[in-house]
Amino acid sequence: MDSDSHRALKHRWSEYLRRSGLKTTQQRELIVETFLRLEGHVSIDELLARVRRRNPRVGYATVYRTLKLLAEGGLAQPRHFGDQQTRFEVADEGAHHHDHLICTECNQIIEFENEQIERLQDEVAKELGGFKIVRHKLELYGLCPRARGEQNGYCAQPERWTRRS
C-alpha cells in the first residue's frame, strides 16, 4: 500500500472515531496500524500474533473489538471462506475489485482480477432481467496443485503440509 492510501485510511479511521465519540489507545492504534499495513486476509489470531510481536500485552478481546470497529467504520471487510473462520482484509476505497480462489484443503487464498469475468457477469445480469450490478463477490473453491497430489505441486501455504507430514 502506498503512503497516500495509508494516510487516507488513517484519516478515515480518525474521522470514524470522532463521529462515533470514541477515544483511542496505544494498543488500539498499534492494532489498526498493523492491520492497515497487511496484505491479504488475516484472522483475529493471526493479527493478534503480529501485534504481540510489538506489544505482548495486547489481548485477544482488544484485537476483536478493534477489528469490529474497523469493520463498522468501513475500513475492514470480513470474509468467510468456508473454513469456519472469519478473515479480514483492508477495505480500501481506492483498491481494485478482486475475486478469490480458495483451496479447500490448505485454505490458500489467491486474489485475482479478470476483466473478462467482470464483463461476463454484467452481461448475464443484463440478460437475466436487466440487472445493473452494484457489488458482488466471486469465490471459487478448489484444490491447489499440492492438494491434488501433483508431484512437486506448488502451494503458497507449505507450513500446512509440514505439520501434517
Res 164: pLDDT: 45
CATH topology for 99-164?
A: Dna Ligase; domain 1 (3.30.1490)
Provide the β-strand partners of residue 112: 99
Report which DSSP code applies to 100.
Answer: E
Give tens-digit pLDDT for 103-141. 888 878 887 888 898 889 999 999 998 888 877 778 888
Answer CATH for 3-90 from 1.20.58.220, 1.10.3720.10, 1.10.10.10, 3.30.70.1340:
1.10.10.10
Q: Which residues touch 154 (CB under 8 Å, ≥6 apart)?
A: 144, 145, 146
Domain residue limits, the chain: 3-90, 99-164
One-letter amino acid identity for 40?
G
Residue with cell string 503512503: 3
Ramachandran region, residue 27 (left: φ > 0; alpha: ψ -120 to 50; beta: rest): alpha
Give tens-digit pLDDT for 9-40. 899 999 999 999 999 899 999 999 999 988 77
